[in-house]
Structure 1
């Protein structure tokens, strides 16, 4: 059984040492989890504009103070972006070439880090309200899907929305929408619920990323904008070099979730 860590710093130390290698859903409850995108300085302005024009899938939590600095003090004490995620993806010319547990050997002085809000952060509020989060109760990574919903292009970046899915009975789906609306910095209210085909998803039991979860009789799938969206945009833009998180393997920060609630 996966060990549960209460404090972000404790979890990051376990990740850095190699003792924790799994997905971070349910870990360090109460603290903001982030998706990751790291690009060279000459691509950073275009990517920042892409985030600003697409705040639901790409809500920006923090970015580097200066190129080449791997320490993200705004996100956590003694936080090193090169070592403190369970798994990273290395991209070259828009192609995934490697997954690694540490990017120290890939680090460069011209790299700019972007931290993007993650739906794992609002799961705490849903659990507190008594809603079941199926990926947590089944011990799985959340299912994520490519869609036919276009993002707003910015500079060299464009592409379609990626969504995460959680099943609920209709009354709970309505409550989930109300709760998530309080957290626009971690994707906010869902973008769709009901018929997956309406947003280009052929089979809700065959996610493009993450794991399939049980969809019970009487439940509807609820789809939330997902921070894997930048990876789809990166594949299309084809920057020479990029680092992202592996889906489900987030950066867990010292920022309390409560600080992101707007009411």
Structure 2
């Protein structure tokens, strides 16, 4: 499928089952979102968790009211069908991965759409930087860390990060570029020695795929929207749904609308 497909056409392809892969590099220019869906009586604590941890959990949009399946701010969306792959959690435990969530939908569910690092990748590419997961055609590598998130009610846990390798000069440029995009994770949270943030082996990501580390390259780590999935494990809500890592909600919102000039 042509990666320059419009967001609406990509969502239609996802809805019909024609497309089910990771969305990195698709619909360039448009915001991609992580997804967390929770019962209404858990929503206020999760909202506070996002507000307390804006780097890993930058909130872009949420339901107008429980049970809503659309997110009008982000486009003509049916949240039950328009993400390539979903993860279902019960009592904080991941139980299954599904292609749509119509059979799981409930009238008390609240949707949170969070900014995704795939959005700032476009700005890195536009500056001539090699974004390794895109050039190698794989899902970005993501790792659990020892970095604590601020707790909010039952939601707490360690931050998850995504990693992209760069030579030192390019890493500095990546920091400068991504600082302009606080709504999609902003500047990196760490670069260099992965052991300092609790990562033992870059070749064994917790989510996504390993990428090639070139000679004289540094691993650069950004806060990642998979972090809420770790918080769900700690909070143990009776029911929750997220996107599968790398399989995002692709919206009609333009990346340029999120940039801080």
Same fold by TM (over 0.5)?
yes
- Residue 223 of structure 1 corresponds to 221
- Residue 186 of structure 1 corresponds to 184
Superposition deviation, residue 3 in structure 1: 3.9
Where does the alignment leave 5 or more consecutive residues of structure 2 unmatched? none
- Higher alpha-carbon deviation: 2-11 or 137-146: 2-11
User: Deviation per CA, 1:113-148, whole angstroms, max 9, x where unpaired?
Assistant: 000000000000000000000000000000000000
Secondary structure at 1:74 match in 2 = helix
- The answer to whether 1:16 aligns with 2:15 is yes
Superposition deviation, residue 5 in structure 1: 3.9
Q: Which residue of 243, 246, 249 maps to 2:244?
A: 246
User: Deviation per CA, 1:167-199, whole angstroms, max 9, x where unpaired?
Assistant: 000000000000000000000000000000000
Contact 1:5 1:11 in 2 (8 A): no
So what's the TM-score if we normalise by structure 1? 0.98
User: Deviation per CA, 1:223-242, whole angstroms, max 9, x where unpaired?
Assistant: 00000000000011100000
Aligned length: 261
Contact 1:38 1:244 in 2 (8 A): yes
Q: For residues 1-263 of structure 1, what are the structure 2 equivalents within 5 Å?
A: 3-77=2-76, 79-263=77-261
Contact 1:160 1:229 in 2 (8 A): yes
Where does the alignment leave 5 or more consecutive residues of structure 1 unmatched? none
User: Deviation per CA, 1:195-229, whole angstroms, max 9, x where unpaired?
Assistant: 00000000011100000000011000000000000
User: Deviation per CA, 1:82-105, whole angstroms, max 9, x where unpaired?
Assistant: 000000000000101010000000
**Structure 2: distance between partners of 1:4 and 1:257:** 16
Secondary structure at 1:52 match in 2 = helix
So what's the TM-score if we normalise by structure 2? 0.99
